[in-house]
Structures are given as structure tokens and as C-alpha cells.
Amino acid sequence: MTTVSAPTPLDQHRRLVTAIPGPRSLELTARRAAVVAAGVSSTLPVYVARAGGAILQDVDGNQLVDLGSGIAVTSVGASAPEVVAAVSAQVADFTHTCFMVSPYEEYVQLCEVLARLTPGTHEKRSVLVNSGAEAVENAVKIARRATGRDAIVVLDHAYHGRTNLTMAMTARAMPYKTGFGPFAGEVYRVPASYPLRDGGLTGEQAAARAIDVAQRQVGADRIAAIVVEPILGEGGFVVPAAGFLPALAAWARDNGIVFVADEVQTGFARTGALFACEHEGVVPDLVALAKGIGGGLPLGAVTGRADLMDAVHAGGLGGTYGGNPVACAAALAATALYERDDLAGAARAIESRVKARLQAVAADVPAIAEVRGRGAMLAVELVRPGTLEPDKEAAATVARTCLAAGVLVLTCGTWGNVVRLLPPLVIEQELLDDALDVLEQALRALAA
């Protein structure tokens, strides 16, 4: 039995001891240019040495506040002690066998947890994979096999991944698709609900607009699945108007179309409910999961209706690493924390704190068109004052200003003009307030 000594926890304070980036990070940036593909870019110009809770410590000893959680992954905090312990214990037992060759309990146990936690009380099955894109791909495979239909309907502003099929499903060309075609066929895009830019459409009206396009351009009887992010993620943290998701789900049900919720970014307490579909009482047929599920280790899953999942022939789903035992151990620890520590409640507390703060700023800064989001998935959309014209440069400036002060914020949005916040759900109030001071100053500077 191997024992692993626990590292000293990182104190939860922002601290800059060099310029950002510091000398060691600059050295690594130079080395990187010689060996790392230029197509892989990084938001942060500093290199991480350690991470804990909501703090990233860089190779120069700076401590940055992490308001990105590795893109909504370390929701339980970076290196959560329970996850570290579970992973360490599993690594000591065995690291890999391949579930398709010689199975193990952790895979089964995690599928039991997913059946219990995901929306709906119906009988469910799961398949475990390695990433969000792989989860979405598998949801499409399952929907096609179960329905015998080919067509897949997706939303404008959608992001579903970078594999060939999920690139086709993703809306934005640059940087995700440009030059990478031809793309997988039988993917059809319909308008989303984007309240800020919809001229007052209700959720039901936005759904009717989407359904009309799908019916005219594809035909309901040809559609295997409609794949929907309950809150658009990379597309700009756009919360659809109330009624949009239920109307799409009802149409899918009435037409034998599989309703797939891509909860890769919204899942696991991020939006103040365990899954974002719950805010509108929508029970998806299949749900694609990843990111927060693994507490920092790579894992994805599709969980859904037993009749659909089991329509796939034996051997039709899987992969060498899918449901790797170390990733499963991490996920079992992380999913227990979402429940034990009511991290959905923590996300709601973050929402009220951050929204109150940012709405007050928005009243003084005309470049802020909207403060939006749910739970700890929050954003400000930036425009040229007095218009809805997206201002990508303003978002980049805010992110850059925050970084220089030691606060990591990400941007997103179809036009790149949205500043988004995805703090670990365990972030301490004092640290969050400190980071918000920095963000507030950066936003107010837009009005100066």
C-alpha cells in the first residue's frame, strides 16, 4: 500500500511577486514556441506550478485567483483533497485495464451515481468516455441507432467540441472550424433563443421559430436528435427565454426526436441546480456530461433513457480509455462533494453576490449590454455604447487588465465580446470579493 503525503494547502489569497508574466514563465513561453504547435493557444501567459481551491500558483510564485476553473472543470476546487485522496488510492491499486476487456466496480458505481443524479426518475443507462466532444458524439450515435434516422438539429451559437462531427455541430467558424472541413453531414442549424438580441421574442416564440426551420428544411420525421445546451456556453453564456427549452422538448417528444441536453459545461451544480435543465423542469432523453464530473480528471458520459441507450448493439459503444478507473475514482469523489456540500446552493450564493455587484457596475458603464447567467456561470456582454454592436476589444481589454492584476477571467461569445466567470464553487467569499474588486475596476475603466 503506497502512502502519498498530502501537499500543504495553498493559502487562498491573491499575491503578485513579479510582473505577469514573470521571468520563469517568459522562459517557458520561449521554449514552448519551439516545440508546442502554434494552433494550441493559452489564455494565461503564466505557467502553473500548483493549484488549490480557487488559487493558481505560477512558476514564479505568483498566486492568481482562478475565475475559470479550467473551463468549468474544477468546480469542487482545484486539487480538492477528497479527489486527490481517491485518485492516489486508485493509482496505487491499478491505473488501467480497459473496461471493455476486464471490468471493474468503479465504472458500475459511477453509472449508478449518474442514474440517480441526472434529471428524471426513469430507468437509465450510461456509457463513460473521455471528453465532452466524445460524449456528444456518442449521444448522436445512440440517437441515430435508436431512431433509425440520420438528421441532427443544433442551435445557432452552439459549441459541442472539436472532433469532426462536433465541429459540424459547433456554430462558430473562427477559430473552431476554419480550414478544417469538410465536416460531417446531416447536421442542421436552427435559431437559438438569445433574449438580448431577439427583439422581445418569448421562449415559446423563439422555439416556434426554431421548430419551423427544422420542419421546413429537414422534416421532423428525418430528425434523430435535437442537441441543445440549456445555457449556451462558448456561444456567450446565453440563458434562453423561459419556455424555450420546454417547447423544444415537447416538440421532440411529439415527433419521436431524441432530446439531448449537452450539459458538458452547465452540469454538476454549475448553474445552481445539479443540471441546468432542472431550472425549467425539462427531462432530457439523453444527457452529455464531462468537465465538472471528474473534479479535474478527464471523463465524459452519456446518461439516458434505458430503451434508447440499450438500442445499441453490444460492442457498439466504448473506447480504450473510456471510464478509466482513476478518472472514475475522481468522479466518485467529486460527485459526492456536489451532494455533501450542497455546491448547487454555493453556486446560487455566488450568483447573488456577483450579480448584485456587476449590475451596480452596469448602471454606470454603458458598454455593458447585459449581466446574465445562472449560478456560478455568469457573464457580461460588452457592446459599443448605445448599440448592440459587439465589442470584442473591450472584452479582451477587461480580461487582460484582470490578468495583469492576478485574476484569471475568460472571454466567450460568438463575437468574442463576453467576459465570463466560472469560479470554483468552493471559492471563499473574501477571495471572490477581492477578484470582483479587480474585475469591477477593469469594467469601470471602459467608461473612463
| Chain positions contacting ligand PMP, by CB under 6 A | 71, 131-133, 136, 159-161, 229, 233-234, 262, 264-265, 290
Write the CB contacts of 126 (distance below 8 Å, at least 6 apart in sequence): 110, 111, 114, 115, 301, 302, 303, 304, 309
What are the grid coordinates assigned to 279, written together? 431550472
Nearest-approach distance from CB 134 to ligand PMP, in angstroms: 7
Q: Is the Cβ of residue 291 or residue 305 nearer to ligand PMP in the bound state? A: 291
The answer for residues whose C-beta is within 8 angstroms of residue 220's C-beta and 6 or more apart is 214, 251, 255, 257
Question: Which C-beta is closer to ligand PMP: that of 133 or that of 238?
Answer: 133
Cell numbers for 109: 458505481
Closer of 22 and 373 to ligand PMP (Cβ):
373
Quote the CA–CA distance of 176 and 182 in Å, as a whole number. Answer: 13
> Nearest approach, Cβ of 423 to ligand PMP (angstroms)?
16
Least distance from ligand PMP to the Cβ atom of residue 303, Å:
15
* CB closer to ligand PMP out of 25 and 271: 271
Q: Shortest distance, CB of residue 161 to ligand PMP, whole angstroms?
A: 4
- Smallest distance from the beta carbon of 76 to ligand PMP, in angstroms? 17
User: CA 332, 337, 343, 346 torsion: positive or negative?
Assistant: negative
User: 55: which strand partners?
Assistant: 52, 65
Looking at the Cβ atoms of 232 and 308, the one nearer to ligand PMP is: 232
What is the DSSP annotation of 107-175?
Answer: HHHHHHHHHHHSS-SS-EEEEEESSHHHHHHHHHHHHHHHH---EEEEETT----SSHHHHHH----TT
Smallest separation, CB 234 to ligand PMP (Å):
6
CA distance 141 to 312: 9
Closer by beta carbon to ligand PMP, 20 or else 190: 190
Task: Supply the minimum distance, in Å, between the C-beta of residue 315 and ligand PMP.
Answer: 23
d(CA 327, CA 338): 16
Query: Is the CB of 273 or the CB of 367 nearer to ligand PMP?
Result: 273
The residue at minimum Cβ distance from ligand PMP is: 132
